[in-house]
Amino acid sequence: MADIIQLLPEYLANQIAAGEVVQRPASAVKELLENAVDAGATQVQLIIKEAGKQLVQVVDNGTGMSATDARMSLERHATSKIRTTDDLFRIRTLGFRGEALASIAAVAQVELRTKQRGQDTGSLLLVEGSQITSQQPVACPDGTSISVKNLFFNVPARRNFLKSNAVEMRHILDEFQHVALANPQISFSLFQNDLEVFNLPAGKLSQRIVALLGNGYKEQLAQVEEVTPFISVKGYIGKPESAKKSRGDQFFFVNNRFIRSAYLNHAVLTAYEGLLPKDTHPFYVLFLELDPKTIDINVHPTKTEIKFEDEKTVYAIVRAAVKQSLGLHNMAPSLDFEGDVNFAPIQPLRLSGNEQNPFAGDFKPDALASAAARAASTPSKSEQRPSRSSEPYERQLPPRPTDQAKRELEEFYKSLQQVKVPDIEREATAIGVPVPSAAAIAAARQAEEAAQQTTPEQPATPTTGLAAPVAPLGQSEAAPFVMPAPSAASPELPLREAAPSAAPGNKVLQLHQQYLMVPVKSGVMLIDQVAARERILFEQYAQALERETSASQTLLFPRSVTFTPQDFAILREVEEPLKALGFRFSDFGKYTIAVEGIPADVPARDEKELLEGLIEQFRTHAGPVKLDRREQMARALARRVAASAAGNRLTEFEMTALVDKLFACSVPNYTPDGRRTLVLLELGELQSFFTR
């Protein structure tokens, strides 16, 4: 039998390696920027065209390479940073595997220019699909310039998996931001399609944060510094009031390498406990320095996940450092040890005699107060009798008033009977208010009695809950004011065609401002009002997106909202569905928009918070299937608006309308992401609760 195992060709092995190292243009950006930092550069320039699909170029003024090193850098497993096995446990550089340039060159057209300091000329290499097509001396400045052109030109299937330019540019901005934050001592610049996006001079970390993330952080930074023999934690955190709905501005660096760690993020959130509004995330840029022997960075191809030898200690120190910073900057809640807040003295209720008596000039409210005080100060026989020890929970009767107190109270109530009530009918006629006649009042009462005698098969007309019963002037009894039932043709209140038939005459009840209880013939139906509202809004927004038009409420004054570069890139990505939903905004400067209108059915509130929440939900959305961008935005906005109305007390009309609109939906039983909106309890289930 012939042998079947053979070595892969070099170009094919490089393409396989590129599948792990180079997933998108941002992967090439990360590797090239890290190589520039490792080369000791003080100035780094990143040039991007067509979101990296056409060109990714990194120019630095580092040490440069000789002609031999330039050629060797394109070979697999060639590196200047590792010599022995022990070096793997002392890694402090960023790129060390020796696969980055070889993998990039396998799937792109690469132009490499490099020159060492003190040399007269440099080297120029042209590589295409792992094959070096040209190498020659060239005049160039000190340092290295690497241009990656037409990424995945020889792997069309991989190129087809790339996202839109807005998505790919967002990933590039993320990688640029990580390297720029980790190295504030290096000057960075970024050009996109010949336009300057960032120009970051070398400076302090706080200056780099403000330059990258915006001037809004200038007054919101609190320094963190905790040094121990095991680990040192330094950096900045944001004040609680600067917390955002999006969680993008959170950065951990271990030995100057950006990492992602849900474990350490939990440590920071625990330190903020009790200080953050609900569903908000704090800002932080934290640098952890510890012995490289106590961590393992070679556990993930992108090196963004690491393992700690003693992660519990790291967790505790990070949490303590953040908590200490919050306390030093007076951001933690303080306790008042002077006053006893748990046992505050209760002031007795006193009636003042300064108010003018609305009934008679000689009436004194203090008479009632003094009578009550004397009645309370005179002990009764029941109070003087000691309670029996055998009955510690015996109900104590209130003290009985004395005879004198009784007389004063009787005089007080007699004075009330002498109050002259004005002639309401005469005064109403004087000011032009019509007063119903006796015949009209009698007819209204007969109509009310006839309505009460309706048969069970004829459900009574539902009241709206918006208007209280109005009494005719001058009469002690009132005919209830009933709003006409909404018509079936009204688009605002569709009928419950698919709903279980409700028991006649029963009303919808609200429980704890969270659930609605609807009696039906077969039992009781419980509805989650937030989930129901989310389903209703989702279908409304989905229909608006299909029509590509939606009603919008114009703001009295346009409001400017500034985003981080990453959030602004997402905003550009979802601009079309946002405007179809009813948002109206225009550019108003760098990473800033002027919001001119919001969807008509969205309650007016902080537009910045609303848009940030939508961007965060759009960024972190994960579902079992790939969703269309428009459907994803409809889901995000529906959940956002529905959650804002959680805990609201609803009127009877609002509860009825919510139930009607829910059962007019195409899928009333579930929210768009599969959560249940209602539960039906049969009579048998209810009876079983009492027969167990």
List, for residues 294-335, the tens digit of each pLDDT value.
888 766 666 678 888 899 999 999 999 999 999 887 665 544
Assign 235 to helix, strand or coil. strand
Task: Please tell me the predicted confidence (pLDDT) of residue 452.
Answer: 54
What confidence tens digit (pLDDT) does each residue in 564-594 have? Answer: 777 887 788 778 878 887 888 888 887 888 8
Q: Which token pair is 531?
A: 């989930």
Residues of the chain scoring pLDDT < 50: 334-369, 371-372, 375, 380-398, 419-422, 424, 427-428, 430-431, 433, 454-499, 501-505, 622-626
Q: Give how far the C-alpha of residue 611 lies from the chain's centroid of Cα atoms, to the nearest Å.
A: 10
Residue with structure tokens 């556990």? 299
Q: Which long-range contacts (CB under 8 A, 24 or more apart) does 515-523 make?
A: 516/650, 516/655, 516/658, 516/659, 518/659, 520/680, 522/680, 522/682, 522/683, 523/680, 523/681, 523/682, 523/683, 523/685, 523/686
Degrees (nearest 5) of the Cα angle 303, 306, 308? 160
**In which order are the strands placed within the sheet that holds 584-587?**
552-562, 592-599, 584-587
Residue burial 620-631, b: 16+ Cβ < 10 Å; e: rest: eeeeeeeeeebb
Evaluated on CA atoms 592, 593, 598, 599, the torsion sign reads negative
Task: Please tell me the predicted confidence (pLDDT) of residue 465.
Answer: 36
CA 255 – CA 226 distance, rounded (Å): 15
Q: What is the DSSP string of 331-397?
A: -SPPP-SSS-STTPPPPPP---S-SPPSS-TT--HHHHHHHHHHHHHS--HHHHSPPPTT-TTPPPP
Assign 148 to helix, strand or coil. strand
Domains and CATH numbers, the chain: 10-200 (3.30.565.10), 205-328 (3.30.230.10), 528-680 (3.30.1370.100)
Task: Please tell me the predicted confidence (pLDDT) of residue 388.
Answer: 43
CA 120 – CA 394 distance, rounded (Å): 105
Task: Please tell me the predicted confidence (pLDDT) of residue 574.
Answer: 79
Helices (H), 488-547: 529-547
Task: Please tell me the predicted confidence (pLDDT) of residue 189.
Answer: 95
Decide: 107 and 154 in contact? Cβ < 8 Å. yes
Residue with structure tokens 């609803």? 650
Amino acid occupying residue 229: P
Task: Please tell me the predicted confidence (pLDDT) of residue 451.
Answer: 54
CA 280 – CA 247 distance, rounded (Å): 8
Q: Which token pair is 375?
A: 């009645």
CA 486 – CA 479 distance, rounded (Å): 21
Amino acid occupying residue 191: F
Q: Residue 168, CB half-sphere, CA atoms under 13 Å: how many?
A: 25
Task: Please tell me the predicted confidence (pLDDT) of residue 45.
Answer: 96
Task: Please tell me the predicted confidence (pLDDT) of residue 628.
Answer: 64
Cα–Cα distances (Å) from 612 to 245, 554, 565, 586, 599, in that order, read: 6, 20, 13, 16, 16
Decide: 372 and 398 in contact? Cβ < 8 Å. no
Task: Please tell me the predicted confidence (pLDDT) of residue 406.
Answer: 64
Q: Residue 379, CB half-sphere, CA atoms under 13 Å: how many?
A: 6
Amino acid occupying residue 213: L
Residue with structure tokens 């600067």? 242
Assign 281 to helix, strand or coil. strand
Assign 576 to helix, strand or coil. helix
511 DSSP assignment: E
